[in-house]
Amino acid sequence: MAAQANTSVNTATPTTPSHAQIFLSFLWLGLTSFGGPVAHIGYFRVAFVDRNRWITATGFQHLLALCHMLPGPSSSQLGFALGVSWRGLGGGVLAFVGFTLPSALMMIGFGYGLVTLSVNFSSLIMALKLVTAAVVLHAVIGMAKGFALGVEKVAIAIAMAAVVLWVDMPFLTPLLILGCGGLGLLLIHPDQGEAGVQVSGHGRNWSSFALVLFVEALAGLLLLAHLLPESGWFALSQFYLAGTLVFGGGHVVLPLLEASVVDTGLVSLTDFLAGYGMAQVMPGPLFTFGGFLGAVMGEGAMAPLWGAVVMLVLFLPSFLLLLGVLPYWQKWMLSSRLRAALAGNNAGVVGLLAAVLINPVLLTTIRTPQDGVLVATGLALLLWGRINPIVVILAMLAAGWGLGLFGAG
């Protein structure tokens, strides 16, 4: 778990996993990684830095910093980047498929069932959101231990959280993160250590092609949407554009997606909120919410296929950008000034995630004192660390149902 992660630098020479090891490790994480991107990063660190020692702590942090700098879902990008750093493009694809497949199937199935069966899932969603509150609280604590230690970093994190809570403007997130990088450049003195992480040569060969494909896909989809405004190309262009503009993780994509599919009448607000609630409590990446939206937008037997296409289009731009930039990242990390700026960025991201935890997660989830007690108990058990997180989650659900906390309100 994130709170248990050893934050000391691992200086041992890392071993390179096989393709099968990459896929099976990420498949297990895709089945068990509850709590959203903050928790996912903690799980990755424990699995690949502390337990398997497939990457050093410094290399892991440098890849994480890159993923925070680029638009897209940070945890999925990090998994993809890890796979590419180990086994090139094939490793990245295996990492993505393993991590995404479980939640993608569940979210597409949920969307198909919601439209076909018209089932009311509100009680289940409320139950799992309380579980998510405890898991995300635990993950934020773990991330703070890794990226917000020291007076300067703590100050940056608190300032970021305060600004985000005070100014409810998600589109300012990229500027705020850049501002934290500027503060880091002024205030933080980075530790000496490894300059970066070695990247597979196969990933390097794909760099120019990925950047060209990113631009061509964006221009092509926007052109088709303009020429054929009543077709499915318009919807796909909006999903690709949303994946291109999202900075700060999966939660930031929601306003863009709502404007794209709810305001245009493609998905009802009720279905949109139901899917978002389910996405928050699924293991794996939040961006599989796109699979749900595609399934709701589709018709009949084609709905699951449409869900898969929409989800892949949402993920695609962030992965193309990552492939294009990743081979040069290790050279950039030789700069101590850049490392100081990235330390500021990471501290700012901790503050951003803490703000998101407060609003909307805690403010919209904890409705009664009993809810608060359940979340606090789950957090205490996760911090204790001697009980499997899945057991804690199931125990919280059982306790909530037994106490009657999960009404339909």
In a domain, 387, yes or no: no
CA angle in degrees (0–180, nearest 5) for 94-98-102: 155
Cα–Cα distance between 319 and 40 in angstroms, integer? 17
Tokens representing 38 are: 């903050």
In a domain, 234, yes or no: yes
User: What's the confidence (pLDDT) of residue 293?
Assistant: 92
Per the listing, tokens 């300012």 go with: 172
pLDDT averaged per 10 residues in sequence order, the chain, 409 residues: 41 84 96 78 88 89 81 89 92 96 93 75 68 76 79 92 82 76 87 50 70 90 78 80 70 67 78 78 87 87 88 93 84 77 82 79 81 89 79 78 58
In a domain, 391, yes or no: no
User: What's the confidence (pLDDT) of residue 7?
Assistant: 39
User: What's the confidence (pLDDT) of residue 122?
Assistant: 64
In a domain, 72, yes or no: yes
User: What's the confidence (pLDDT) of residue 407?
Assistant: 54
In a domain, 397, yes or no: no
- Structural domain for 58, as ranges: 14-189+202-365
In a domain, 209, yes or no: yes
Distance in Å from the first CA to the final CA of the chain: 32
* Tally of domains in the chain: 1
13-to-194, 215, 374 alpha-carbon distances in Å: 12, 37, 42
Cα–Cα distance between 282 and 312 in angstroms, integer? 18
In a domain, 115, yes or no: yes
- For the chain, the three-class secondary structure string (H helix, E strand, C coil) is CHHHCCCCCCCCCCCCCCHHHHHHHHHHHHHHCCCHHHHHHHHHHHHHHHHCCCCCHHHHHHHHHHHHHCCCCHHHHHHHHHHHHHHHHHHHHHHHHHHHHHHHHHHHHHHHHHHHHCCCCHHHHHHHHHHHHHHHHHHHHHHHHHHCCCHHHHHHHHHHHHHHHHCCCHHHHHHHHHHHHHHHHHHCCCCCCCCCCCCCHHHHHCHHHHHHHHHHHHHHHHHHHHHCCCCHHHHHHHHHHHHHHCCCCHHHHHHHHHHHHHCCCCCCHHHHHHHHHHHHHCCCCHHHHHHHHHHHHCCHHHHHHHHHHHHHHHHHHHHHHHHHHHHHHHHHCCCHHHHHHHHHHHHHHHHHHHHHHHHHHHHHHCCCHHHHHHHHHHHHHHHHCCCCHHHHHHHHHHHHHHHCCCCCC
User: What's the confidence (pLDDT) of residue 183?
Assistant: 93
Question: How many other CB atoms are there within 10 angstroms of residue 114's CB atom?
Answer: 20
In a domain, 408, yes or no: no
CA angle in degrees (0–180, nearest 5) for 48-65-309: 80
Q: Are 308 and 112 in contact (CB under 8 A)?
A: no
230-to-166, 206, 225 alpha-carbon distances in Å: 39, 35, 8
